[in-house]
Amino acid sequence: MDFEFKEPDVHDDPVIEKYLWDPINFSEKMARLDAGFLGHRLESGTGIPSFRFRVGQNVFSELIALSDDGRIEIVLEGTVRQSQQFQLRSSGLTAVQVEGGKLEKGTWTLPVTKTSNVFRLKAKLPGGLRARPNIERKENWEPQPVVSTPTIVLQPDLKRRRKPGKPLAVQAGYRANTWEAPLDLYGRKQLFAPTGIAVAKDGTIVLATRASGVWRIRGGEWSLFAEGIFESLGVCIEDDKGDRIVITQKPELTRISDTDGDGRADTFETVCDDFGFHGNYHEYTHGPVRDQAGNYYFNLNLADASGHEQAAFRAGGKFMGTMGGYRGWSCRVTPEGKFEPFANGLRSPAGMGFAPDGRLWYSENQGEYVGSSKWVPLEQGKFYGHPSGLVDLPGVTPDTELDRDAWAAKLRKGAVWLPHNKVANSPGNPVWDVTGGKFGVYGGQVFLGDQTLSQLFRIVTEQVNGIDQGCAIPFAEGLASGVMRPCFLSDGSMLIGQTGRGWYATGGFPAGLQQIVWDGKTVPADILRVAASPEGFAVHFTRPLGKEITAEQLRKSVLVTSWFYTNTPEYGSPEHDIREDTLAEVGISGDGKVLYLKIADFGKGSKWLDRIYHIKIPGSKTLFSTGTCWDALESYFTLRAIPK
């Protein structure tokens, strides 16, 4: 069985190129590959792994034992429903013996059996073993207490843009704690980058990390749940206690379970690996998320294709591309384990989630064919802009001439642009506030973080004439590292997993885990949401404006600036046609909580749609009768449709 088309050796560009240009579709090759790796189980007491795999109708469990004198023993257990052959390497092995089946000319043949049988192969390895020295310290699996310390929070009436490493700044009424990472099994500090966080019904917190395994928090204590995880970026809990979870790893979705109740994972089941993985560092697998029907969804990042020439298809872009195997696609796995391509045209889709109404959304990172980062509904069969992934469509190879203008016309536009280096640079995962008021007045809104800018912002969307649009509003900045995974805990506080990943993050730390807690009473003076109106915008506040504030005063101080982005093969887009839009009239609602901005000639002509409107209210700390706020309130509204 040849798996090279799906998982070639790292940097084996000739092989990658061969299959990338192959006219046979990846899906056809997968259908022909009647075999698969099914996962592994750790034997109780010893921790020795037994691997499970399938070839045709045969499913085997495999144990491998190595001795100090260089001998290997492979034990296979399973029912042989079809005659099974294994090919031994042609040189080096000596003293080969088998128990069960026949060994002839280097081929081990197992006969058909009616029941499960055990088969053994023993041999001497050339040169013996090269073992590492014994480790003197023993592994310590005992729980560790969660240590949380208050984080210095700046008053949010200072200027917003700060130098890296400065303390956290967040709205009034919120405080922050920094959680120390657990030590590893040898008592050492570790790079703990929690990129997946979920909470079980019983309150257990499950944290998947990039390089430190999967940890759980129960009763205020850390414990290591699973080791050997390959850059997990998400976790879903399938039971009530966090004993059975599904995570992403770079090459697969994996179900991890504790079946004997000892607190450690012992079963690792491959849920899905029906996509290509080439060892490229940028081939992230984002997700998973799960719908009410039990389907899992995940997004496959494009590769860093620079320097790979013919071994990656970049569709005219400079950096990101595909080496095949549905890179740049969103994918779905049914409860029965069936893999289904869901949508394409993705670039670096680092965050995804289901809104309370059941709609699936994702966050996209700026780059080629993505003018700026954006927040987008993820819908089946839609095209999202980056043409590299189209190479996995039936009948398409890198030599196929794609009508890029026609594909650009099919673009499923985003709902909200996230202006580059203002709101976001590399947005991560979303979380919706469904805490029932435990986190403040932002119920139903989505919170999204940014990996580069180390900040957190809110997104509020609306539909006008069936078209999605909305605004992004700052919430917190100066977090320790790159914000990738906010998650609400059972008490309504927000836990934020962070990583620098080796890229730059303005927080200054390589990783972090911080908690934001609302005091339960303070309502900060803030923009709650912005909505489009027939004549401009309606800005809704969390608190009423001061009674002495007049509409004319605000007409002179409020600034509305707008521009648009374009999607080209270049890396991102400049801000095109920057202009200050004139306020013709300003109104204040009777309760003082809505500011109506009437823009001169709004809606007349073709210059209003598909633009970002930056609404800035300077000197805002003097505008409200109570509460404190940022020195200037800001919102970035993406206008796709004007209400009638």
173 φ/ψ sector (left φ>0, alpha ψ -120 to 50, else beta): left
pLDDT at 541 exceeding the cut of 60: yes
For the record, the structure tokens of 600 come out as 């001169």
Higher pLDDT, residue 157 or 374:
374
pLDDT at 558 exceeding the cut of 60: yes
Provide the CATH topology of domain 34-124: Maltose phosphorylase, domain 3 (2.60.420)
Three-state DSSP at 131 gives coil
Residue type, 29: K
pLDDT for the residue numbered 158: 38
For the record, the structure tokens of 33 come out as 């590959």
pLDDT for the residue numbered 339: 97
CB atoms within 10 A of CB 555: 16
User: For the residues 191-195, what does the mean pLDDT come to?
Assistant: 96
| DSSP helix, strand, coil percent of the chain (3-state; round to 5) | 5, 45, 50
- Alpha-carbon distance of 233 to 229, in angstroms, equals 10
Min mean pLDDT across 5-19, 150-164, 323-337 is at 150-164
pLDDT at 155 exceeding the cut of 70: no
Confidence class for position 130, pLDDT limits 50, 70, 90: confident
Percent of the chain, pLDDT > 90?
Answer: 87
pLDDT for the residue numbered 163: 47
pLDDT for the residue numbered 187: 95
- Alpha-carbon distance of 106 to 331, in angstroms, equals 41
pLDDT for the residue numbered 504: 81
Instruction: State the burial class of residue 451 (Cβ atoms within 10 Å of its Cβ: 0-12, 13-18, 19+).
Output: buried
210 φ/ψ sector (left φ>0, alpha ψ -120 to 50, else beta): alpha
pLDDT at 160 exceeding the cut of 80: no
Three-state DSSP at 278 gives coil
CB atoms within 10 A of CB 469: 23
- Alpha-carbon distance of 574 to 587, in angstroms, equals 33
- Alpha-carbon distance of 136 to 355, in angstroms, equals 50
Task: Count CA atoms within 13 Å of residue 607 on its CB side.
Answer: 14
Cβ–Cβ < 8 Å for 620, 631: yes
Alpha-helical runs (H) found in 196-323: none
Three-state DSSP at 26 gives helix
- Alpha-carbon distance of 300 to 302, in angstroms, equals 7
pLDDT at 173 exceeding the cut of 50: yes
Query: What pLDDT digit, counting tens, does each position of 429-451 carry?
Result: 999 999 999 999 999 999 999 99
Domain boundaries, the chain: 34-124, 527-639
Query: What pLDDT digit, counting tens, does each position of 331-370 carry?
Result: 999 999 999 999 999 999 999 999 999 999 999 999 999 9
Confidence class for position 164, pLDDT limits 50, 70, 90: very low
CATH number among 2.60.40.1220, 3.40.640.10, 3.30.1360.170, 3.30.70.1230, domain 527-639: 2.60.40.1220
Residue type, 552: E
For the record, the structure tokens of 19 come out as 């299959």
Three-state DSSP at 13 gives helix
Name every residue whose Cβ is closer than 8 Å to that of residue 112 and which is 6 or more positions away in sequence. 80, 81, 82, 83
Query: What pLDDT digit, counting tens, does each position of 395-435 carry?
Result: 999 999 999 899 999 999 999 999 999 999 999 999 999 99
CA-CA distances (angstroms) from residue 144 to 10, 223, 236, 489, 536?
A: 38, 7, 24, 20, 55
CB atoms within 10 A of CB 59: 17
For the record, the structure tokens of 321 come out as 């591309």
Query: What pLDDT digit, counting tens, does each position of 445-501 carry?
Result: 999 999 999 999 999 999 999 999 999 999 999 999 999 999 999 999 999 999 998
Min mean pLDDT across 76-80, 170-174, 282-286, 310-314 is at 170-174
For the record, the structure tokens of 620 come out as 């805002």
Higher pLDDT, residue 137 or 174:
174
Higher pLDDT, residue 130 or 122:
122
Closest Cα partner for 476 from 446, 453, 510?
453
CA-CA distances (angstroms) from residue 273 to 6, 24, 36, 394, 599?
A: 9, 19, 9, 20, 53
Q: Return the ∠ at Cα 288 (arms to 528 and 428), rounded to 5°.
A: 40
Name every residue whose Cβ is closer than 8 Å to that of residue 284 and which is 6 or more positions away in sequence. 231, 233, 250, 300, 301, 348, 350
- Alpha-carbon distance of 480 to 274, in angstroms, equals 36
- Alpha-carbon distance of 25 to 350, in angstroms, equals 26
Query: Tokens 């965050």, residue?
Result: 351
Instruction: Give 407-435 as a DSSP string.
Output: HHHTB---SEEE-BTTTBSSEEEEEE--S
pLDDT for the residue numbered 165: 55
pLDDT for the residue numbered 430: 98
Sign of CA dihedral 596, 581, 373, 427: negative
Percent of the chain, pLDDT > 70?
Answer: 97
Instruction: Give 27-47 as a DSSP string.
Output: HHHHHH--EEEEEEEEPTTT-
pLDDT at 614 exceeding the cut of 70: yes
Confidence class for position 314, pLDDT limits 50, 70, 90: very high
Query: What pLDDT digit, counting tens, does each position of 105-119 carry?
Result: 999 999 999 999 999
pLDDT for the residue numbered 431: 98
pLDDT for the residue numbered 132: 72
Confidence class for position 621, pLDDT limits 50, 70, 90: confident
Instruction: State the burial class of residue 14 (Cβ atoms within 10 Å of its Cβ: 0-12, 13-18, 19+).
Output: exposed
- Alpha-carbon distance of 355 to 263, in angstroms, equals 32
pLDDT at 613 exceeding the cut of 70: yes
- Alpha-carbon distance of 192 to 408, in angstroms, equals 40
Instruction: State the burial class of residue 124 (Cβ atoms within 10 Å of its Cβ: 0-12, 13-18, 19+).
Output: middle
Tell how strand 168-170 and strand 153-154 pair up: parallel
Residue type, 576: H
pLDDT at 257 exceeding the cut of 50: yes
**DSSP secondary structure letter of residue 9:** P
E strand map for 395-510: 416-418, 427-432, 446-450, 455-464, 467-477, 483-488, 494-499
pLDDT for the residue numbered 288: 98
Min mean pLDDT across 161-170, 265-274, 459-468, 591-600 is at 161-170
End-to-end Cα spacing for the chain: 62
Q: pTM here?
A: 0.95
Confidence class for position 203, pLDDT limits 50, 70, 90: very high
Cβ–Cβ < 8 Å for 447, 499: no
pLDDT for the residue numbered 166: 60
Three-state DSSP at 557 gives helix
Backbone angles phi, psi at 479, to 5 degrees: -70, 165
- Alpha-carbon distance of 312 to 19, in angstroms, equals 11
Confidence class for position 627, pLDDT limits 50, 70, 90: low
pLDDT at 152 exceeding the cut of 90: no
What is the length of the chain?
A: 644
